[in-house]
Amino acid sequence: MAAKLDKDTYPEKAGPSDFQCFGPPATRDGEFDGVKICDMGCFTQDGKDSNKYYHAAVVQHKTSKNWYAYFEWGRTGAAKPSFQFVQCGSEAEACREFAAQLHSKNDKRGEWATVAGIRTLRARAGKDCYLVRPMATRSTGLPDARSIKSNEGAKKQEPKGDSAKSAAKKSAPKADAQTLSLLRDLSIATLAYTRGSMADASLPTQGAIDEARTILAEAQKRLVKVGDDVKKQIKDKDLLQLTTLMYGRIPKKKPVGAPPETWILSKDNVLAWQNDLDAFESALYSTDIEEEPEFDPFQGMELTMEWIPPDAALGKFLYEWWPSATNNRHGHIGKLQIKNLWRVERHADRGQLATVQKEINGTKAKIKERALFQTEQRPDLPKAEAKDFHASNTALLFHGTRSVNVSGILRESLRLPKQLVGVVITGAMFGPGLYFADDWKKSAGYTSLPNSYWSAGGGAVKGRSAFMFAVDVVLGNPFVAPGAHGYTQPPDGHHSVFGKAGASGVQNNEYIVFRREQHQLRYLAEFATAAK
């Protein structure tokens, strides 16, 4: 018969490393049969300011082979959590104790509801309900729990093992040393950023990230109804419920006593959540980088990428054109110093730009607005291609991003939100599209420069400077926005939205498209700035 041991006590004069853990992990609320490890979280802010976790595992002593159910709990991220072993007579009994305890913390404390289109548990009145946190990797529990990895909902990747390594050697993309070094640095930094963002240093699964994107879309729909007043947003019960569900799935750090406007899903942090989810997804491709010397930094990428020498013809053009493309309206940002340049070609994007250009040129649209700092003589475009670029108003524009988001963009390209919800959010005042600028200083404000406006140096890569893309964007006939508005598509007769300096409530030009195929990554610059 199972017997609970004293709390915070190891059986058999053992230590934490004397026990083996097992999979598979639990990934859904109320489903604890056939699984042997589980992570749960309870995020409640209604006067409690509680962000707690509960971990459970079926474990076996490595020497005696005795079976136990192991439980651990505390505030998420606690340095010294409480724990308890339940001694069992068999593996089956340990599984029963494991499942019974999890049911008592999970579905027996909650009631089923549909939130953001997701069937989920919510706490019954007066109860704390722990929700299952699907984890690709974990940092709670006994040391061997770290060996249990499972990425539910993962996108297709190459198989692991010796055969996979030998196959990778044969099929690994050929790349220059500068490119391989960059991608490896990005992988390490993105993984570290994700772990550092979590209260418990774990990695959420792809399935949890996909679910979080759905929650974020529902929060934006709610913001349309609640309005722009942050005070009303933080008091809205639906937004609070969506926030609770979000933190239940993605255990991001939240300091004790943090004001509600810093953590609730409001108009001020939707963009930050979007960027973080993209970085978290990218980190899932790099979980083996610390263990496998032959780790392929091109993991999950169908990409041709090459470093551009400064003295090459293309290098000379870009090193001259890029720094000159500015009206110098951001005085706090000094002169551009390009440290490295890469040519980028995503295989999945081949041909898509030409298709859109042909479509727009077929409408014989009258182009009334064109981007600044464009040149008619681009050495990277054949003459015939250059004509289509001009006729369709395709411009080489800038897109700045945090360094930890670079590898995700290389892998997936720039991503539109899961749903195009017509809401104005901080950092995206013209709706949920893809944003570009014709002035590099505008885009620099979104990068990991130490003095950048939006990230203030966050998401940087150790030993590296900031990063910015140059992107071919088919603008067609832009619609000049009279002011902030939650566009989900350009008005009829137009192909993009133009936030025009001096006319749309912005200091620098912004160009927004709402179809992914209207853009194609072309170049990536690693850069710094220096005082004038």
- pLDDT of 331: 72
Residue ranges of alpha helices (H) inside 364-513 are 383-391, 406-412, 440-444
Q: Are 448 and 461 in contact (CB under 8 A)?
A: yes
Give the dihedral of Cα atoms 85, 86, 91, 95; nearest 10 deg: -100
**Token representation of residue 491:** 């008005």
- pLDDT of 166: 45
Distances (CA, A) of 504 to 292, 465, 508: 51, 32, 10
- pLDDT of 160: 46
Closest by alpha carbon to 401, among 442, 440, 448?
448
pTM of the model: 0.91
- pLDDT of 508: 95
User: What is the percent of the chain where pLDDT is above 70?
Assistant: 96
- pLDDT of 174: 65
Question: Consecutive sets of 10 residues in the chain, 532 residues long: mean pLDDT of each?
Answer: 95 97 95 96 80 95 98 88 97 98 96 84 87 92 94 66 45 78 96 93 93 94 92 91 89 88 92 96 89 83 96 96 92 91 97 97 93 91 92 97 98 93 94 97 95 89 97 98 97 97 96 98 96 58
Tens of pLDDT, residues 280-338: 999 999 988 877 778 889 988 999 999 999 999 999 999 999 999 999 887 778 999 99
All structural domains of the chain, each given as residue ranges with its CATH number in brackets, are 3-147 (no CATH), 173-285 (1.20.142), 301-530 (3.90.228.10)
Q: Strand 478-480 to strand 303-307: parallel, antiparallel, or no bridges (unpaired)?
A: unpaired
Task: Give the whole-angstrom CA distance, residue 196 versus residue 193.
Answer: 5
Give the rounded distance of the alpha carbon of 249 from its chain centre: 14
Q: Strand 50-61 to strand 67-75: parallel, antiparallel, or no bridges (unpaired)?
A: antiparallel
Contacts for 313-319: CB closer than 8 Å, 24+ residues apart: 313/379, 314/343, 314/379, 314/380, 315/341, 317/378, 317/379, 317/380, 318/470, 318/523, 318/525
- pLDDT of 157: 56
Q: Are 494 and 475 in contact (CB under 8 A)?
A: no
Task: Give the whole-angstrom CA distance, residue 93 versus residue 436.
Answer: 59
